[in-house]
Each structure stands twice: as structure tokens, then as C-alpha cells.
């Protein structure tokens, strides 16, 4: 690997982790689509900031763009409060308008010169290593790596400092109010983090893919754990893995790195959806199958216990009879009987089934419950 | 270009006519069908569908090697439909909420679409040129065959909507009641979603995947402000959509470096803004005016009643009272008295005020009501 490749992957990882942290709270607070709105409308902030400063790399641009991101949130909630449109429509009205203004401004006044329409959607991760931060002859690395490291540090610090507030207002907003916290303040704090992160990540991965990095890894992690610290750690890890895997996918396909990273977050999500230990589709299907077998074995035990010691027991306890009585197919009945034998619930003596003590207890328990 | 010239241009210029007709078709369809999406709080489903359509466009091109509008539109529709299925599947089988599911589908599908697009673009042959107009739309590139495809699909979607109008209405307002009447609500849900997908893919070439959602949401949200009747909302939304589409597309085709999608979206946003402010009864200005009128009426009524109360507390009924006394009882009395005098309900007695006969009748009538 060349040093450029390593730097790109490093940026990808830092961006992904920085996005996953505030993203986790968005997913938990059902605000996922706010990231969509913010990541689009910051474009307008970047363009306006560029018109003011005339410099795409100015730190002022970052602040201005983040402010527009926050303005989006304010506009959405103002619009919603008028009662004229609902929240989903309010989001869908505000950001396309702001984004459109941004795109039109770029293509009329700045296209190809300093800002590029394609870069808005794709990011320029592949060129990031060429844009270096050099001070007093010292090379501090690619600008976007430095910027995103600072953003990541800010996110970690903010989450650590306001851990209690974030946790409480996320899981029990009513209690948070009762205890004297201000959920609105926490909300806007979180939105500021999201805006700042989206602006920082914008250069690297473009506006829409910020959404992938903010939402998909935390949602995947949400399928795997119930504890908030583990959720954050897993989301960060999945984001980082998507970053590296995405880079190599893009390398072999010679395609967009940001797009590949987003695709990989999707791959990880599908893997989690299918294979999560408890909540995955496979685990759920196996659990249902097992429950079906266990239920049938219990039925068998109850059936045998019912007729035990009665004159009809001879007929009722024959394996062939289960078909007529419990409406089981022959091979299903066979499987259940063998399973029950293995569990030590019944023994078979010359074609006729007999309950063991364990089987009797199971039947009695099941009936008395 | 002045209005007359524009009109002449519109009917003589082949390209402009194509553009205008195509945009009208897409505006009517997305406006009318968007009504249901907005009503059912599924506004942002449109955003997910339109982003999800991008990989469908790219895959259709990769598989068929053609840019025939029908192939690309079918690809887009299939991908959009798969996207909605994933959203439904995720929300049904996991604890991930609707907003996160939308966010994941939107960004991951879009990311994958970008991977495919960049992959296609880097292939040696140049047949792929123009696929990227699906991002922000390009009305000027519309051909006759595109127009025919759009118009036919739009007509089919609208006809289907009218055919099951009553059932869709039921689905939107009271699905449980519909279920109890024996209507296949699930099938209707799928049908409505398919119609929405159709409406969206029609617009992809003109408006682009990034902003198509706005054409679903904005006309419907604007139309909703003008009327309470579903049929009228859909009709007005269709007209608004067509107006935004035609104006935006024609302006963008005429002006240089004015991307079509954002221009159309800004037209639609302007319509929304006007509707939110000026729509009779619901509009914000209307509401403000009504609030003022109500406050004034209350203020006048309060002074009138105060005078009536005072009058009955005194032995010599028609005795006058100073404005100062009335001001203690209700604020702003001076102004109210002057207005009441104009209406002939009170009269001035020196420096003081008394009820006229009409005023007394009015106050007594109000009390007995």
C-alpha cells in the first residue's frame, strides 16, 4: 500500500466513526431523516460561506455551513408548529428548497472553479491526500484528516461530557424534563454535532452518503446489542469496517469510494439483519422451528399421559396412531418421537410408546400451567 | 424573454414544447399521487424511492446496454419498488424504526447507484454519456421518445388512481374500516405504492433522483392548504405540479447553466410558500387576520358588557361612567369606546360614556345568549 492509500483509508475510518457517534443518537431518537435534511442543506451554507470568504478551505466555511444545518432544523420545527404540514412533509419541503438554491448557485457562479456539482454527491476522497496542511514547513497530513480528527474529538468529548443528559433525554424525555434537564437544549446540541460532522464529512463523502454513515452502522449495531456504550462502540466499529472495505471495493471496481463505503454499510446491515445472534432473521426462524418441535413433543407427552394406564392406551400410544389423532404427517410424527426419545421423555417398546418419569412431569407441568 | 415571446417560443420551438409537455405530465402525476403520500405521512417514502431508483437505472443500462427510456424507467421502477419492500421488511421484522429504515434504503441504494455509475463511466466506450443527468435532471435533453414514455406511464398511473379512487380514499382515512368492509387493504397499499413509484420514475430524467421527492411532497402540501376535499386536493396538487414543472423546465432550458431539477423544485417551493401564507382560512396571514378580528371583537364586547354591568349596579340606569373606570375593568377601553361610538352602541356624555338604547339591547341580548 502506498502512503496515499493508507491516508485515504485513515480518513475513511475517521469520517465513518465521527458520523456513527451522533448517528447512534439520531437512530435512537427516531430522527434519522434529520441527517438527510441537514446533509443536504449544508450545501447552501458552504456555497454562501464560499461567496463570503472566497476560500473553500476556510474554517469559517465550516461554521457557516453548520449554522445553516442548524437553521434547517429550526425551519422544519417552525413549519411543523404552524400545524399546516406534518413533520415528514416539513422535512421534505425544507431541505430540497435549500439544496436547490445551493445547487443553482454553484452551477451558475462557481461550477468547476472551486466547487463542483459532482463533488457534492460523490465527495473527493480519492484526492484528499493531495490537499495537505502545512505549517512552518511541517506537514500535518491531509487537511480533511486533520479536520475530521478534530470533529471526531469534539464528538467524543461532547458525548462523554453530556453522557447523562443524552442518555436520559433519549430514553425517557419526560423524566428528563421532570428532573430539570432541558431536552430542547440537548436536542439542539445534538443537532449542532450532526451539522458540524456532516459539514466536515461532506468534503470526503458528499452529502447523501453522510446519511449512510450516520444511520446504517448504528442501525446495524442496534440489532446486536441493548447497551448504549456497546451500541456506540459497535456502530463505530461497523462504520470503520465499512470505510476500509469500501475503499478496497472501490479500488477493485475503479468506482466511487464514497459510494462503495455506503454500499458496504448496506452489506453490513443486511448481514446483521440476517445473522444477528438473537434478533436476526436466521436466529428467529431457527427459534420458531425449535419452538414448534418442543411444542409438538409436549403435545405428545400430554397425549400419552392422558391415556396412560387406561384400556385404550395400547392403541393410543402406537406411533402410527399419532397421524390420526394429532393430525401429524408420518415423517413429522417420526421426527417428534425420535426427538422426544433423545430428550428422554418417552421410550418405545415394540411399536408402542411409554412415558418416562421426565415425560410425565413435563406433561403434568404443561397441563397445570 | 418577455411573456409573449415565451409563449410563441413555447409553441413553435420543438425542444421547448417537448420539455414543457413532459414536465406537465410528470407534475400532474407526481402532484396527484403525492397527495396520498403526504396524507398518509409517507412523504419521505418518496425520497427513499427516488434515491433507490438510481442503481436500477444503472443496472438497466449495464444489462441492456441501451438508454431506451422504457428500459431505464423499468429498471428504476423495479429498484424503487425493491427499496420500499426493504423498508417494509426492515420495519416489520426488526425493531428498527421507519425513519431509520428509510434513511438506510435511501443512502445505501444511492451509494450503490453511484458505484455503478462511476463504474460505467470509466468504461472505455462512450455510450454511457448522459446517465448522470438522472442525478439532477436535464430537461433540455428530453427527447420525443422520453416524452411519450412519460406521458403514457403518467396516464396509466392516473387512470389506475381514478379507477380505485374510493378504495384509496378509504385506505388513507380509515384502513381498519376498509378492512372490515372486506376490501383488500394490503393489496391496495401495494397498488398505491406502485403508483407512487411510477409517478417518481417518470420524473427522474427531468428532475433527477436527488430532488424528485420534492415533486411528490410540495404540490400536495401546497394544495392541502386551499381545500379540505381529497378530490380537490389531488386536482389542485396536479395543477400545481404541472405549473412548477412547466415553468421550471422551460426556464432552465432557456437559461444557461440552470440545472432543471433544482429550478423546478424552487418553483414548487415558491407555490408552497404562497399557499402557506395566503391560502384562505388555513394560511398564516389569513389566520393572523382572523386572530386580530377575534381579539378586537372580544375587546369591544368586554367594554360593552362592562358598561351594561355598571349600568345595572346604579339606581339611575342611564348614568354615564368615565373611561378611566372602564379602563380598570378592561384594558384598551379608550380605543374600544371610540369604535363602539362609531357603531352607535355607546354615546359620549361630557367626559363620560353611557350605553345607547341599541347598545343596551345588544349587551342584554349577548348576556341572555
Residue B90 has pLDDT above 50, yes or no: yes
Q: What is the pLDDT of residues A269-313, one digit of tens each?
A: 999 999 988 888 999 999 999 999 888 888 888 888 888 777 777
Interface test with A, best of B31, B38, B62, B107 (most A CBs within 10 A): B107
Q: Where in chain B is the domain with CATH 1.10.3470.10?
A: 3-282
Does the beta-carbon distance from A212 to B102 stay under 8 Å?
no
Provide the pLDDT for residue B276: 93
Sequence ranges of the domains in chain A: 3-208, 282-368
Percentage of chain A modeled with pLDDT above 70: 96
Q: What is the pLDDT of residues B319-348, one digit of tens each?
A: 777 777 777 776 667 788 888 888 888 888
CB burial of residue B232 (10 Å; 0-12, 13-18, 19+) = middle
Q: Output B234 or A118, whichever has higher pLDDT.
A: B234
Task: Note which residues in 209-268 of chain A have CB less than 8 A from chain B.
Answer: 209, 211-212, 214-216, 219, 222-223, 249-250, 253-256, 258-263, 265-266
Provide the pLDDT for residue A357: 87
Q: What is the pLDDT of residues A5-20, one digit of tens each?
A: 888 999 999 999 999 9
Does the beta-carbon distance from A216 to B211 stay under 8 Å?
no
Architecture of domain A282-368: Orthogonal Bundle (1.10)
Q: For A40, which residue in chain B has the nearest alpha carbon?
A: B210
For residues B154-170, average pLDDT: 93
The least confident of A259-273, B146-160, B248-262 is: B248-262
Q: Output B345 or B9, whichever has higher pLDDT.
A: B345
Which residue in this structure is represented by grid cell 446540541? A189
CA distance B190 to B51: 19
- Indicate the DSSP class of residue B263: H
Among B215, B216, B240, CA closest to B227: B240
Percentage of chain A modeled with pLDDT above 90: 40
Provide the pLDDT for residue A352: 80
Provide the pLDDT for residue B154: 92
Among B58, B75, B73, B219, CA closest to B147: B73
Q: Output B236 or B211, whichever has higher pLDDT.
A: B236
Of the candidates A35, A104, A279, the beta carbon closest to that of B258 is on: A104
Q: What is the pLDDT of residues B53-75, one digit of tens each?
A: 999 999 998 888 877 778 888 99
Instruction: Report the gap between the CA of B266 and the closest CA in chain A (Å).
Output: 6
- Indicate the DSSP class of residue B139: G
Q: What is the pLDDT of residues A313-350, one digit of tens each?
A: 777 777 777 777 777 887 888 888 888 888 888 888 77
Q: Output A61 or B73, whichever has higher pLDDT.
A: B73
Provide the pLDDT for residue B1: 43
Residue A126 has pLDDT above 80, yes or no: no
All residues of chain A having their beta carbon less than 8 Å from the beta carbon of residue B122 are 254-255
User: ipTM of the assembly?
Assistant: 0.88
Instruction: Report the gap between the CA of A168 and the closest CA in chain B (Å).
Output: 19
b/e A174-208 (16+ beta carbons within 10 angstroms → b)? eebeeeebebeebbbbbbbbbbbbbbbbbbbbbbb
Instruction: State which CATH number among 1.10.3470.10, 1.10.10.10, 1.20.140.10, 2.30.30.190 fits the domain covering A3-208.
Output: 1.10.3470.10
Q: What is the pLDDT of residues A267-276, one digit of tens each?
A: 999 999 999 8
Is residue A85 left, alpha or beta, with left meaning phi > 0 and alpha meaning psi from -120 to 50? Answer: beta
CA distance A59 to A200: 10
Instruction: Report the gap between the CA of B183 and the closest CA in chain A (Å).
Output: 28
Q: Report residue B251 as a C-alpha cell.
A: 426556464
What's the pLDDT band for B3 if we cut at 50, 70, 90? low
Provide the pLDDT for residue B4: 55
Provide the pLDDT for residue A327: 78
Among A121, A100, A52, CA closest to A262: A121
Instruction: State which CATH number among 2.40.70.10, 3.20.20.70, 1.10.10.10, 3.40.50.300 fits the domain covering B286-368.
Output: 1.10.10.10
Percentage of chain B modeled with pLDDT above 90: 46
Q: B3-282 falls under which CATH superfamily?
A: ABC transporter involved in vitamin B12 uptake, BtuC (1.10.3470.10)
Q: Where in chain B is the domain with CATH 1.10.10.10?
A: 286-368
CA distance A250 to A259: 8
What's the pLDDT band for A351 if we cut at 50, 70, 90? confident
CA distance A200 to B359: 69
Q: Output B363 or B140, whichever has higher pLDDT.
A: B363
Among A83, A65, A78, A8, CA closest to A244: A8
Interface test with A, best of B31, B41, B96 (most A CBs within 10 A): B96
What's the pLDDT band for B311 if we cut at 50, 70, 90? confident
Provide the pLDDT for residue B129: 59
Instruction: Report the gap between the CA of A165 and the closest CA in chain B (Å).
Output: 22
Provide the pLDDT for residue B240: 96
CA distance B24 to B36: 19
Quick count: other Cβ atoms within 10 Å of Cβ B209?
Answer: 34
Residue B262 neighbours by CB under 8 Å, 6+ apart: A99, A100, A101, A103, A104, B136, B211
Q: Are A69 and A45 in contact (CB under 8 A)?
A: yes
Does the beta-carbon distance from B108 to A101 stay under 8 Å?
no
CB pairs under 8 A between A and B: 207
Provide the pLDDT for residue B130: 66
Report long-range pairs for B343-351 (Cβ below 8 Å, ≥24 apart).
B345/B304, B346/B303, B346/B304, B346/B307, B349/B320, B350/B320, B351/B322, B351/B323
Among B101, A117, A189, CA closest to A197: A189
| Number of alpha carbons in the 13 Å side-chain half-sphere of residue B51 | 26
Of the candidates A30, A260, A262, the beta carbon closest to that of B97 is on: A30
The least confident of A100-114, B16-30, B143-157 is: A100-114
Among A57, A42, A210, CA closest to A131: A57
pLDDT mean across residues, chain A = 87
Amino acid at each position: 500500500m502506498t502512503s496515499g492509500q493508507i491516508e485515504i483509508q485513515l480518513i475513511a475510518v475517521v469520517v465513518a466513526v465521527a458520523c456513527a457517534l451522533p448517528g447512534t443518537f439520531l437512530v435512537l431518537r427516531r430522527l434519522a431523516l434529520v441527517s438527510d435534511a441537514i446533509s443536504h442543506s449544508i450545501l447552501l451554507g458552504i456555497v454562501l460561506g464560499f461567496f463570503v470568504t472566497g476560500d473553500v478551505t476556510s474554517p469559517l466555511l465550516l461554521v457557516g455551513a453548520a449554522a445553516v444545518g442548524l437553521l434547517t432544523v429550526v425551519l422544519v420545527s417552525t413549519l411543523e408548529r404552524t400545524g399546516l404540514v406534518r413533520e415528514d412533509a416539513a422535512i421534505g419541503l425544507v431541505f430540497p428548497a435549500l439544496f436547490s438554491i445551493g445547487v443553482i448557485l454553484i452551477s451558475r457562479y462557481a461550477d468547476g472553479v472551486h466547487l463542483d456539482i459532482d463533488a457534492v454527491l460523490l465527495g473527493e476522497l480519492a484526492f484528499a491526500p493531495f490537499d495537505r496542511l502545512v505549517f512552518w514547513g511541517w506537514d500535518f497530513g491531509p487537511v480533511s484528516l486533520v479536520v475530521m480528527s478534530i470533529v471526531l474529538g469534539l464528538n467524543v468529548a461532547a458525548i462523554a461530557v453530556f453522557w447523562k443528559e443524552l442518555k436520559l433525554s433519549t430514553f425517557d424525555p419526560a423524566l428528563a424534563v421532570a428532573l430539570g434537564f432541558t431536552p430542547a437544549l440537548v436536542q439542539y446540541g445534538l443537532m449542532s454535532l450532526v451539522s458540524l460532522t456532516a459539514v466536515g464529512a461532506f468534503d470526503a463523502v458528499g452529502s447523501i452518503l453522510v446519511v449512510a454513515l450516520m444511520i446504517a452502522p448504528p442501525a446495524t449495531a442496534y440489532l446486536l446489542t441493548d447497551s448504549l456504550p456497546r451500541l456506540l462502540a459497535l456502530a463505530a466499529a461497523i462504520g470503520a469496517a465499512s470505510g476500509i472495505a469500501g475503499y478496497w471495493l472501490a479500488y477493485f471496481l475503479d468506482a466511487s469510494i464514497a459510494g462503495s463505503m455506503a454500499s458496504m454499510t448496506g452489506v453490513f446491515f443486511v448481514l446483521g439483519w440476517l445473522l444477528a445472534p438473537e434478533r436476526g432473521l436466521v436466529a428467529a426462524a431457527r427459534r420458531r422451528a425449535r419452538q414448534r418441535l418442543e411444542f409438538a413433543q409436549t403435545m405428545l407427552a400430554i397425549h400419552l399421559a392422558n391415556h396412560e394406564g387406561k384400556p385404550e392406551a395400547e392403541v393410543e400410544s402406537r406411533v402410527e396412531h399419532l397421524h390420526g389423532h394429532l393430525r401429524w404427517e408420518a415423517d413429522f410424527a417420526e421426527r417428534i418421537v425420535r426427538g422426544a426419545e433423545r430428550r428422554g421423555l418417552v421410550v418405545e417398546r415394540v411399536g408402542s410408546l411409554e412415558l418416562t418419569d421426565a415425560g410425565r412431569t413435563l406433561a403434568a407441568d404443561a397441563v397445570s400451567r | 424573454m418577455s411573456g409573449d415571446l415565451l409563449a410563441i417560443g413555447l409553441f413553435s420551438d420543438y425542444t421547448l414544447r417537448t420539455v414543457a409537455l413532459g414536465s406537465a405530465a410528470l407534475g400532474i402525476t407526481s402532484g396527484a399521487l403525492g397527495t396520498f403520500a403526504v396524507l398518509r405521512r409517507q412523504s419521505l417514502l418518496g425520497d427513499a424511492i427516488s434515491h433507490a431508483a438510481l442503481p436500477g437505472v444503472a443496472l438497466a443500462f449495464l444489462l441492456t446496454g441501451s438508454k431506451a427510456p422504457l428500459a431505464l424507467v423499468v429498471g428504476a421502477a423495479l429498484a424503487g419498488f425493491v427499496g420500499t419492500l426493504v423498508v417494509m421488511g426492515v420495519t416489520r421484522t426488526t425493531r428498527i424504526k421507519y425513519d431509520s429504515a428509510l434513511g438506510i434504503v435511501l443512502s445505501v441504494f444511492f451509494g450503490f447507484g453511484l458505484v455503478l455509475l462511476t463504474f460505467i463511466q470509466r468504461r472505455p466506450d462512450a455510450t454511457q454519456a448522459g446517465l448522470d443527468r438522472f442525478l439532477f435532471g436535464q430537461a433540455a435533453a428530453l427527447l420525443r421518445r422520453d416524452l411519450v414514455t412519460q406521458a403514457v406511464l403518467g396516464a396509466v398511473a392516473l387512470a389506475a388512481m381514478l379507477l380505485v379512487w374510493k378504495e384509496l380514499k378509504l385506505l388513507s382515512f380509515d384502513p381498519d374500516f376498509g378492512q372490515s368492509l372486506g376490501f383488500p387493504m394490503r393489496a391496495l397499499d401495494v397498488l398505491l405504492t406502485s403508483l407512487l413509484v411510477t409517478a417518481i420514475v417518470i420524473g427522474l430524467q427531468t428532475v433527477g433522483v436527488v430532488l424528485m421527492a420534492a415533486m411528490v411532497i410540495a404540490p400536495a402540501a401546497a394544495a392541502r392548504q386551499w381545500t379540505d376535499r381529497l378530490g380537490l386536493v389531488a386536482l389542485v396538487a396536479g395543477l400545481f405540479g404541472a405549473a412548477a414543472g412547466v415553468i421550471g423546465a422551460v426556464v432552465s432550458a432557456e437559461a444557461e447553466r440552470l440545472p432543471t431539477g433544482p429550478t423546478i423544485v424552487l418553483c414548487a417551493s415558491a407555490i408552497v410558500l404562497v399557499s402557506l401564507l395566503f391560502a384562505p382560512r388555513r394560511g398564516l396571514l389569513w389566520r393572523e387576520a382572523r386572530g386580530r378580528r377575534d381579539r378586537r371583537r372580544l375587546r369591544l364586547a368586554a367594554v360593552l358588557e362592562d358598561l351594561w354591568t355598571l349600568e345595572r349596579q346604579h339606581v339611575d340606569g342611564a348614568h354615564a361612567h368615565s373611561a378611566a373606570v372602564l379602563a380598570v375593568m378592561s384594558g384598551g377601553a379608550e380605543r374600544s369606546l371610540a369604535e363602539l361610538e362609531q357603531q352607535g352602541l355607546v354615546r359620549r356624555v361630557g367626559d363620560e360614556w353611557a350605553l345607547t338604547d341599541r347598545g343596551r339591547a345588544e349587551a342584554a341580548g349577548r348576556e341572555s345568549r
